Structure 1
Amino acid sequence: MAVVAMTMLGSLAVLAVIGPLVWGPAADRPDPSAVLQAPSAAHLLGTDYLGRDLLARVLAASRLSLLLALTAALLGAAVGITLGALTAVVGRRSRRLLGALINLLLAFPGLLVAIFCSVIFGAGARGAVFALAVAATPGFARIAQTLAAGVAGTDFMAAARVLGLRRHRLLLRHVLPNIAEPLMLNATISAGAMLVALSGLSFLGLGVQAPAYDWGLLLSQGLTRIYVEPLSAVAPGIAIVYAGLAFQLLGEVLAGGVARRGGPPSAAEPAPRPSDARDPVADDDDDVLRVEDLEVVIPTADGVVRPVRGVTLALRRAEIVGLVGESGSGKSLTALAIADLLPERARATWRTHRFLGTDAAALTRRARHRQLATGLAMIFQNPASSLNPALRIGTQVTEAVRAHRGVSRAEAAERAVASLQRVALPGARRLLRSRPFQLSGGQRQRVTIATALMMRPQVIIADEPTTALDVTVQRGIVELLAGIRRDAGTAVLFISHDVALVAQLCDRVLVMYGGRVVENLPAGRLATGARHPYTRALVESVPDMAVDRNRPLRTADGTPSEAPDDITGCPFHERCAHRRERCVTEDPALAPLGAGHQVACWYPLSARSSREEPREAGTS
């Protein structure tokens, strides 16, 4: 099919180039002595009513027919793709308006739109091209809108927004490169459809006008003699079918190639919320990040869901704080809310949100994004989705420092080399010219850390940065984060399922369950001093070399509730072996239990042994 398609397209290209030069004079030369002749050796397809050779006219019309069809397809694609891709970079209101406009345009049949617009623009080649471009725009817009929606939700797109990149840069560098391949396939196929539609307009008298001519006009002129000399109408029709089929075959070949190699890669304004809740974490002037009573609300078809409720945390300079809990406990959503990277429909509220000494409520959205882009870095769990597959590593590593520090390309490249060397990546200059798919998982993760270090952030949020990495690479990433904290005084919020790793790396540990922090304690006391039953279950589920291999690991029975808002009392009471009547009816708040230790439990366990009877807080 590829050979056939390229042969057909090659013959059309040759005809378009040499057709008017070789057969143009014969096609335009009238011969009164040869008017309306039948096919003969001198005129293989016969002559028209002016005695002009019909075969020469069909061959010479190749250039104008193909040129007008390709022009209409390119114009429609350019306008439609721009319109659809803009939905990924504009605000919510503009996105709704663009979506409504696309839906409205799609409600009208394309051929009727083309006929109507050709009347408005005027009969002729130019009017037909513009009319077909208008008719093709909605289809391209809908495809681009659908593809752009997949790109808009990626980590690298969210990070680019927070970096403060202008919309045209988001569109040209992040959206269009990642949706270009399927759009090019669609444009190729639509070129054949444009050729047929253009011929149809010319056939109806709305397209190319005499003395110019294309295949559609020749077909219209030959139709009056179809019962006498059918070749005069059949020949232009064969040319139209031949060219349309060539473009369709090309599209099929390109689409098949894409399928064989896997195909192309396919936040609401937060506001402060008043609250009278008491903050169990003491205020500290050395805090670089402080959030009180954080809540994330997501509207769904079944009602409002609150996956994060009343979370309070603080990070001091050069401190590593661990955030642990089962999947679905709200760890990642908490981090995304702090970084202002929540999904579109999710909304974050808080009582207090101070970052680098500035109240977030006092900043505009643009100012807050700039502060986050320069002072906070996010290391995502999956570096493959964090890095834009369409851009080179050097472009992505230097993008933030060039956008916010105003450094030159050369200086930014030198800083990138130094940053990659700092994370122990050999061949830094070569890596800058590479693309993400050319690197291993560990290398990509180190690249994301190097990118984070380019802005010298004071806070790093690492969302499970060692997941899916082998043990050796995990150890290297952990040592790297510890070195960054030690050398630059950077605070780190380390999110992980690995309780043992968190106990080794972090200074403090926050344990989340059901969207809430249920315990806050020093990392050194995690193994022996955990007081909440859920924290104790997490610790005891980690095996060590002394564990009895003949007995199963201890786990907490049951699974987290999918709707924690529907639970009255303590969110963990359905799975807790130590629950009492009060746990079922009253929800405990996070309260001090000792120096640097808070727990949300009415009857915290003894620090000495999990086998001891629980005791009520404050009774001894």
Structure 2
Amino acid sequence: MSSAQTADLTGTAQPLVRPRRARLRLPRTPSGVAGAVIVALMVVLAIIGPPIWGETAERIDASAILQGASSAHPLGTDNLGRDLLARMLVAGRFSLTLALISSLIGASVGVVLGALPSVLPRRGARFVTGLVNALVAFPGLLLAMFTAVVTGLGAKGAVLGIGVASAPAFARLTQTLAASVAGADYVSAARMLGVPRRWVLTRHVLPNIAEPLILNLTQSLGFALLGLAGMSFLGLGVQPPDFDWGRLLFDGFSRIYVTPEVALGPALAVALAGIGFNLLGDALAKAAGRPAVRAEKPEAVGEEAASEPDPGAVLEVRELTVSFPGGVTPVRGLSLSVAPGEIVGIVGESGSGKSLTAAAIGGLVPHPGTVTHARLRLDGKDVAGMSGKELGTTLAMVFQDPMASLNPALKVGGQLAEVATVHLGAGRTEAHARAVDRLGHVHLPEPDKQARRHPHELSGGMRQRAVIAMGLMGEPKLIIADEPTTALDVTVQRQILRLLREVVDESGAAALFISHDIAVVGELCDRVVVMYAGRVVEELPVARLAVGAAHPYTRALIDSLPDMDTDRSRPLASIPGRQPAPSQVGTGCAFADRCELAAARCSAERPPLVVHGPAHQVACWEV
């Protein structure tokens, strides 16, 4: 399974990044326009200021020392007779350059700190998170002053100080954004595959949060300008003979009561530039729509747990249970096996535990979920003893939303090639060639062209084919398809179902097909496992599904499907009531409240899964 291949384990997650990147447009609001104009003027000033007024700014005039405003010197002169207006215009380049450097320092440090928790082990993530929280709580100006004093007075110390002071804000924003992306399907898969953490960070996390970080960088420039000016005004920043707006303000402050205009110019420049960058950053943020913000193995018990492993099964699961704090147990004592070349369907209503079963097999149950089992073997090996890379190549997973399974920031071919690069040790050219070959194997037209496209450039059916191709980059022994046709139209659904059957027949792999549509399961699968409230209530060959289903719930599912012979004058058949929540399943049969055959025993005692015929098991007291 590739790093872009996991998907929604609960059936509710949505893509964290818009599938098609909208072109960023500045809102036509007074504040947005004003911010853009001010920033543009400041950039122009930084470019043309030193060449035009540089000589005037450095010219010493002993006859014009410490003058106030005049026609020759609109903002007065300093203690060497130099024109303050010219010096203010020239200082724009130095001030903006220092602000940009300090913002980049703060962004670099902050982004690294904020992104680390999403790829570090839990202890390391907690340490980094605590460090970020402590830095955020520390006053920024004091942090900047402390850094400047330690590193030395002057422009270098001031830049480092403001950079360090702005890093916590970047870290907090990055941490919030990365936390949401870190839960995305492709990131979970990358971890399971054993993709190096630096790759997870640089290829899967950061590219998908870059936009809001860049927008925040624009706003941080305003903060940096004000901060640097404040440092220079306090004498901790730029030192003579260099000068920035803050230094000019410092030099003129002693005369503010006599000739206030000498301090007016640099103060106005600092305020105007800060306001401009903040307005522009706010406008860009609004335009972009900034986003907000293991398995334990218990002692083997019971006759089934003590039995010998099935050597002929690709997947063997015994007494699988998935639980969460608070008594929530979505999967309860599930057992099943899948043979080579066999497709086993798991069917049931939403919330019956189908997807979490797949997640538990793949090791993708989210924290703080706990997985326990008497046996969980894949291709003859205990899953608990398999490395992430081994599990990733033995198991392929295809989920219902291919857009959530594919990293929107990477091209399709690159995502497929990652599997060959990480697991097969293939070179870049070889990995790309294999990716194109796999895309062609799933009947994508012009596979080389499709490999160079981003996921949003493909149709839904093409994306689903690409995800299946991703699973075939290795040599999977088991393919888990979790409702892979739900979001597709009927024609494309049939194509995908045929492709899955073709892949299983050609490769000899086993497949676990999960769906809420019992008709689709009946068309594709060899055997059907029916789940209700986290438990298996019936297992039977698909050939007996229509006429031999014994459990009342299975029959109700079949009866609720209309066909060409359905009387359209009557209401569609439905199952009364609702499935109990995972935390509300009692000791008896969970279906008892909705079952017409239920007796007193059904509510008091849970029926075991017993043999009802060849390859047929049912959990019902009344059958």
Which bin holds the TM-score, normalised by the shorter protein? over 0.9
The residue aligned with 1:219 is: 249
Q: Work out whether 1:333 is the aligned partner of 2:359.
A: no
SS at match of 1:86: helix
For structure 2, the 5+ residue unaligned runs are 1-29
Q: Name the structure 2 match of 1:191.
A: 221
1:402 paired to 2:428: no
How far is the alpha carbon of 1:370 from its aligned partner? 1.3
Question: What is the Cα deviation at residue 477 of structure 1?
Answer: 0.3
Query: What is the CA deviation profile of residues 302-349 of structure 1, one whole-angstrom value per residue up to 9, with x for unaligned ones?
Result: x23111110111111000000000000000000000011111211211
Which of residues 391, 400, 403 in structure 2 aligns to 1:372? 391
Residues 564, 104 of structure 1: alpha-carbon distance in 2 compared, 3 angstrom cutoff:
closer
Deviation at 1:565, TM superposition (A): 5.0
TM-score normalised by the chain length of structure 1: 0.92
Q: 1:319 aligns with which of 321, 329, 342?
A: 342
The answer (yes or no) to whether the contact 1:564–1:571 under 8 Å persists in 2 is: no
Residue in 2 aligned with 1:455?
474
What residue number does 1:546 align with? 565
Cα offset, 1:564, TM superposition: 4.9
Distance in 2 (CA, whole Å) between partners of 1:227 and 1:464 is 76
Question: Does the aligned pair in 2 maintain the 1:114–1:135 contact within 8 Å?
Answer: yes
Alpha-carbon contact 1:592-1:598 (below 8 Å) kept? yes
Q: 1:24 aligns with which of 54, 58, 72?
A: 54
Runs (5+) with no aligned partner, structure 1: 605-620
CA distance in 1, matches of 2:570, 2:299: 50
Q: Contact between 1:306 and 1:565, CA under 8 Å: does it hold in 2?
A: no
Q: Residues 565 and 87 from structure 1, CA distance in 2 versus in 1: closer, same or farther, beyond 3 angstroms?
A: same
Deviation at 1:6, TM superposition (A): 4.5
Cα drift, residue 360 of structure 1: 2.4
Q: Partner residue of 1:166?
A: 196
Residue 481, structure 1, aligned to residue 500, structure 2: yes
1:40 corresponding residue in structure 2 = 70
Q: Which residue among 139, 150, 154 is the counterpart of 2:169?
A: 139
For the residue of structure 1 that corresponds to 2:593, the secondary structure is coil
Secondary structure in 2 matching 1:353: strand
Contact 1:279 1:312 in 2 (8 A): no
SS where residue 126 of structure 1 aligns?
helix
TM-score by length of 2: 0.92
* 1:418 has 2:444 as partner: no
For 2:76 and 2:512, the matched residues in 1 are separated by 83
- Find 2:593's aligned residue among 574, 581, 585: 574
**What amino acid maps onto 1:340 in structure 2?**
G
Q: Return the match for 2:314 from 288, 292, 297.
A: 288
What is the alpha-carbon distance in structure 2 between the residues aligned to residue 278 and residue 399 of structure 1?
43
Q: Which secondary structure does the structure 2 equivalent of 1:292 belong to?
A: strand
Deviation (angstroms), 1:161: 1.2
Aligned equivalent of 1:435: 454
The 5-angstrom pairing of residues 588-599 of structure 1 reads: 588-599=607-618
Q: Does the CA-based 8 Å contact 1:165-1:403 persist in structure 2?
A: yes
Q: How far has the Cα of 1:245 moved from its partner? A: 2.5
Q: How many residues align?
A: 592
* 1:147-179 deviation per Cα after TM superposition (whole angstroms, max 9, x unaligned): 011111111111111221101000000000000
Cα distance in structure 2, aligned partners of 1:327 and 1:46: 77
Higher alpha-carbon deviation: 383-392 or 574-583: 574-583
Look up the match of 1:607: none
The verdict on how the C-alpha distance between 1:177 and 1:265 changes in structure 2, with shifts beyond 3 A counting, is farther
Per the TM alignment, residue 277 of structure 1 is displaced from its structure 2 partner at its CA by: 3.0
Displacement after TM superposition at 1:115 (Å): 2.3
Given that residues 176 and 292 in structure 2 are in contact (C-alpha distance below 8 angstroms), is that contact kept between their aligned partners in structure 1?
no
The answer to whether 1:275 aligns with 2:300 is yes
* 8 A Cα contact 2:110 2:174, kept in partner: yes
Residues 211-237 of structure 1, C-alpha deviation per residue, up to 9 Å, x if partnerless? 221111111221222222221010001
- Residue 620 (structure 2) aligns with: 601
SS for the counterpart of 1:23 is: helix
Tell me the CA shift for residue 265 of structure 1: 11
Structure 2 distance, partners of 1:126, 1:417, is 51
Higher relative contact order (CA 8 A, sep 6+): 2
Q: Which of 306, 316, 327 pairs up with 2:329?
A: 306
Paired residue for 1:496?
515
- Which residue does 1:360 correspond to in 2? 383
Which amino acid is 1:55 matched to?
Answer: L
How many angstroms apart in 2 are the aligned matches of 1:100 and 1:354? 39
CA distance in 2, matches of 1:189, 1:265: 17
Aligned counterpart for 1:347 among listed residues 364, 370, 390: 370
Please give the alpha-carbon distance, in whole angstroms, between the structure 1 residues aligned to 2:382 and 2:567. 52
Q: How far apart are 1:3 and its partner, in Å?
A: 5.7
**Please, which moves more after superposition, 439-448 or 3-12?**
3-12
- Counterpart Cα distance in 1 of 2:604 and 2:404: 43
Q: What does the per-residue CA deviation read over 1:248-277, in whole Å, with 9 as the maximum and x for residues that have no partner?
A: 233134224313xxx6798xx212122323
- Rounded to whole Å, the distance in 2 between the matches of 1:24 and 1:489 is 77
Partner of 1:609: none
Residue number among 206, 213, 222 corresponding to 1:176 in the alignment: 206
Contact residue 393 and residue 433 of structure 1 kept, 8 A:
yes
Residue 327 of structure 2 aligns to a residue whose secondary structure is: strand
**Does structure 2 retain, via aligned residues, the 8 Å contact 1:219–1:233?**
yes
CA shift for structure 1 position 524: 0.7
Question: Aligned to 2:94, what secondary structure does the other structure show?
Answer: helix
* 2:63 maps to amino acid: S
Q: 1:205 aligns with which of 235, 238, 256?
A: 235
SS at structure 2 position matched to 1:279: helix
2-structure distance, mates of 1:486, 1:551: 42
Distance 2:314 2:380 in 1: 7
Range that drifts further, 315-324 or 236-245: 236-245
- Corresponding residue SS for 1:569: coil
What per-residue deviation string (whole Å, max 9, x for no partner) do you get for residues 519-553 of structure 1?
11111111111111111111111111112222223
Q: Deviations over 1:269-301 (max 9, x none)?
A: 2121223233399953221111111111111xx
Deviation at 1:14, TM superposition (A): 3.2
1:81-120 residue CA offsets vs partner (Å, 9 max, x unmatched)? 1111111111111111111111111112212222233233
Could you tell me how far 1:242 is from its partner in structure 2?
2.2
2:558 counterpart of 1:558 = no
Contact 2:327–2:583 (8 Å) recurs in 1: no
8 Å Cα contact 1:514/1:564 also seen in 2: no
Q: 1:581 to 1:46 in 2, by over 3 A?
A: same
